[in-house]
Structure formats: C-alpha cells, structure tokens
A and B are shown apart, each in its own frame.
Chain A
Amino acid sequence: MTDILLQARHLNKTYSQRTGTLGLNSHTIHALADVNLQLKRGTTLAVVGESGSGKSTLARGILRLLPLDSGEVIFDGQDFLALDKNALRTARRHIQMVFQDPFASLNPRMRIGDIIAEGLVIHRIGNAQQQHDSVVQMLKKVGLQADDARKYPHQFSGGQRQRIGIARALILQPKLLVCDEPVSALDVSVQAQILLLLKQLQQEMGLSYLFITHDLRVVRHIADDVLVMQKGKVIEQGSVETIYNAPQQKYTQQLLSAIPGHGLRAITA
C-alpha cells in the first residue's frame, strides 16, 4: 500500500462546439488538457478555478461519470479506467460524491432513511436491521437525530440537507470523497459548520477528499494541497502554504485578491 490514494495522469477531454452559420463549422474546446494530479491518503486536495475551468469535468472524469478522451486514473493501486462494469460497481463503493446543490441532489419523494441507506441496499451490505442501525449511526455522526430518518428532504434546511448528502456518501465507508462545491450554496455561518464537520469526519474515518471549489477562502481552511485550474489546464499546484504565501502565476494572484474581506483584514488588523 502506498500513501498515494488517487493518481491521474495526462487526462484529456475535448468537446466540439458548433459555430458559424447553421452550425456548419465546429471548433474544439479543451475541457481538460493534460491534467495530472495526485492525492495522498488521509489528506485533502482542493481543485480551484472559475466556472468553465474544467474542475467539475475533472471530478466527473475521474469517477467515470463522463468518458475521458485519454489518460490514466490509478485509484488505490487499480487502473480505474480499465475496470469492467462489475468491477467498476464494486470499486465505486470506495469513491463517493457530495454535490453542490442540496436541494437538487436529494430525491424529494424518498425518506431520509431510505436516501442514506440506498448505497447499502445497492451493494447488498447487511440485512434490513443492520442497514437501519448504520443509518441511525450515520445520522448521529453528521449531527442529525435518529428520527430524522422518517422525514422527507423538504423538512430540512440547506445546511441539514448537506449533512444528509454527506451521510449518504459516507455510509459505505468510502476511501475517497469527491466534494463538488459542497458549501457554495450555503450561508457563511452554515458553511463553517459543514467545513468543520468534514474535517472531523476526515480524522475519524481516515477519509481523503478531492474538494472542488471556486472559493479560495474555503480552501485555506480545508485543504492540504491545492491545484489551480484555468481553461482546462492545471496552471499551478502545491501545498496550501506555498500557493497562498507565494503564488507564482498571475491568475492565482488574481483569484487570491478576489477573496472578499480585504477590508475585514484592514479593519480588524
């Protein structure tokens, strides 16, 4: 076992877009252009960039939710892109995802208990009683109550729904959690709660996070390493300290200077 959980090499993904009169011409958009990354076990790698930088495509490509044009993904020593259908299903148990919009990502007609238990049912883990027990345990772990299992998503606030999304993802005890803008839709006060919860769970369960965000403020508090993307390319990567203290690229500097609250520092300094 190495200490690298996830490694991606030379990932490429292009889309062609129709342009011109009647869409007769087309040009190619590089959503991912030769992207390399590695994620150490038990740590957090943040992928930072603006809309359209390819950060979500990267996450989806790694998870095989989207076919890549070329590249190699090694997850836990396995060539992830070469797995056949059955092997992929088994392997996916170890990679789970938390989505941005807690309103859109929970099925409104399902009870919370069923939403959280779904992974166990699909992977046929435990009997009904054991599944129920792990749901209750998971609910408590993310700061919800046992009887919340009977409720429906609309009965919860945005922050609580994100907790449900996290419980749903973690019930299978994955090795890797891919978080795609998990706190962008939340109030700042709720953001802090979710970030602290993610940190705490990481320690308790030894999780590794691939954390996608446009907000460098959040990155500072959750990540160990940072990868900055622009227009499908990785333009800078390094430890969180290096990126913040000595950003090499102009684009990284721009992202850093866009963080709101420069005034806050000036005033409270």
Chain B
Amino acid sequence: MTEILRIDQLSISPAHAPERTLVKQVSFALQRGKTTCIVGESGSGKSLTALSVMKLLSPQLRMQGQVFFQGQDISQLNETTMQHLRGRQMGMIFQEPMTSLNPVLTIGFQIGEPLQTHLGLKGQALKQKVAALLEQVGIDPARADSYPDELSGGQRQRVMIAMSIACEPALLIADEPTTALDVTVQAQVLRLLDDLKNRLHMAMLFITHDFGVVADIADEVIVMFRGEIVESGSVAQVLQSPQHPYTRALLACVPDAEGKKVLQPMTYDWLAPA
C-alpha cells in the first residue's frame, strides 16, 4: 500500500464556539516515500491539522471529518491503540528541540525510550540500536550519555529526529523543524530528513512558512490560509504557476539570494470583492 494517510473533510473548531472554524474541510492524502509540505502563515491551521492526525488535539477542540491512517479510521481507535501508533508508526518532530527534550535524561535514554516501549528492546541490543541511530543522524555514538544542554541546537534537533525515526515509522510529521536553527544547520537538517525519508521509505508531512524550504524538500505542496486549503499540487506546479493570489503573495515575500526580486509585503487585497 502506498497511501499512508488520507484526510477527508477535516474541520476543527473550539468546543465552546462551534461556529468558529479553525480548520475547514481539509482533505489530502500522503504517499509513501513522498514529502508533502503544508505552507501557511501563523494561524493558518497547519499545526492543528498535523496534531489531529495523531489525535493530539486539545480536548477543548472538536474535530469533524475523517483521518485514515494506513486504511484505519483513527476516530474509531481508543487512546491505548493510539499510543501504540504514536512513536511506532507515526513519528513527530517539533520546532523547539530544547523544550521537547527532557533536560534531566540523557539523550541515549530518550532515544531508547520508544525502542523499549514499542519494540521491547533492552540491554545490549538496545544500546546498539541507540548507537546506530545516533550514527544515522550524524552524532558521535559516544555522546549517548550527554544531556540535552550539552548539545547545540542543531544536534538537539538531530536527537529529536533519531527519536522520531527509532521505530521506523510509516509517517513522519515535522512541524517547522528548522525554524529555530541557523541557516547552515537548517540546510544540514533538511538534507538529513530527506535522506532518512528515502532510506526508510516514509511519508513525510512537513510544516513550514518558508517557500525557500519548500522548494528544497517538497514533492507535493499544500497552501493553507485561514484554515482552508487554497491551493495544492506538485512542487513544480505550485511554484512555477501559482494559481491562487495568496500563494503568489506568499512567494513574493520570500527574499532571494540574488536580490533581484523586489520584496513585496504580504497583501490581502484579493480578499476584498472586486
């Protein structure tokens, strides 16, 4: 099966104000071995969409529509089953590597945790697997006993990546994984993620606000604005001939290294009726 995830008419609204929709009738599918980028500004609903895939939405939010993960409707699954899926079949990487790692546990322990919980590894086998994972993400396995504060931002994000791919999930969700990083480190982390996606043949859902990053990593692009998908298609399609005025406006405000482009501030003029 190549289709890993299918979202059908997903809507999210606050429980106390059902008339306000934060995410509105979003539908898309993710294929194995492909990276799909959700692009949008803060508040466009991109992170909420990702969280709902893992059933991690705040209880104050109500979700409608269906999410099928490997053919299973996740709304039918109970919390225990979801716990088996998260970390095992679905991995997730967050924006802030410092806040998502536990400061009082060694990175080796934290990478080993999903391996113990989901695969029952222990002792020497566990140690070896942790070392292999560290190696895979480009960290010296001898650093397994280090604590998060002993690592740089880029190294911490590599640790997060090692944790999320430890059980070789079918789906990897990366929510702005490089936003907090320096440009050079960002380039390395993007290359690493792309490489792992190919090696493990995962489907990757990558959330970003930066079209520059999209161009470097995406196969498919989904553009979200105020909770709705305004445009989607292959990366070449969307970047070469953006159809929606919002996509064009987002592209116009990405600075280019040549400095040829005249930067345009974000406009919402197109929202007003002509």
> A residues within 8 Å of B by Cβ?
50-51, 157-158, 187-193, 195-196, 214-218, 220-221, 240, 244, 254-268
**B69-77, B103-111, B159-167, B178-186: which lies at the interface:** B178-186
Contact across chains for B212 and A259 when beta carbons are under 8 A apart = yes
Contact across chains for B265 and A196 when beta carbons are under 8 A apart = yes
Contact across chains for A187 and B184 when beta carbons are under 8 A apart = no
With contacts A193-B265, A214-B182 taken as known, whether A260 is within 8 angstroms of B256 at the C-beta atoms is no
CA–CA, A51 and B180, complex, Å: 11
CA–CA, A42 and B249, complex, Å: 30
B48 beta carbon closer than 8 Å to chain A = no
Q: Kindly name the residue among B153, B183, B236, B239 whose own CB sees the greatest number of chain A CB atoms within 10 A.
A: B183
With contacts A187-B41, A189-B266 taken as known, whether A215 is within 8 angstroms of B215 at the C-beta atoms is no
Q: Kindly name the residue among A195, A266, A267 whose own CB sees the greatest number of chain B CB atoms within 10 A.
A: A267
| Residues of chain B within 8 A of A240, CB atoms compared | 259
Contact across chains for A267 and B42 when beta carbons are under 8 A apart = no
Contact across chains for A261 and B183 when beta carbons are under 8 A apart = no
What's the minimum C-beta distance from B116 to chain A, rounded to whole angstroms? 33
| Residues of chain A within 8 A of B255, CB atoms compared | 191-192, 195, 217-218, 220-221
The answer, among B209, B250, B263, for a CB contact under 8 Å with A195, is: B263
**Which 7 residue pairs of A and B lie closest in terms of their CB atoms, listed nearest first?**
A261-B212, A263-B215, A264-B215, A192-B253, A260-B212, A220-B259, A258-B187
Task: Considering the complex, give the chain B residue whose CB is closest to the CB of A257.
Answer: B187
A-B contact count (CB 8 A): 122
Contact across chains for B250 and A189 when beta carbons are under 8 A apart = yes
CA–CA, A218 and B263, complex, Å: 10
Interface string of B244-274 (1 = CB under 8 A from A): 0000011011111111000111100000000
Contact across chains for A260 and B266 when beta carbons are under 8 A apart = no
| Residues of chain A within 8 A of B253, CB atoms compared | 188-189, 191-193
B8 beta carbon closer than 8 Å to chain A = no
Contact across chains for A258 and B256 when beta carbons are under 8 A apart = no
What's the minimum C-beta distance from A233 to chain B, rounded to whole angstroms? 17
Contact across chains for B258 and A260 when beta carbons are under 8 A apart = no
CA–CA, A214 and B213, complex, Å: 16
With contacts A50-B184, A189-B209 taken as known, whether A264 is within 8 angstroms of B259 at the C-beta atoms is no
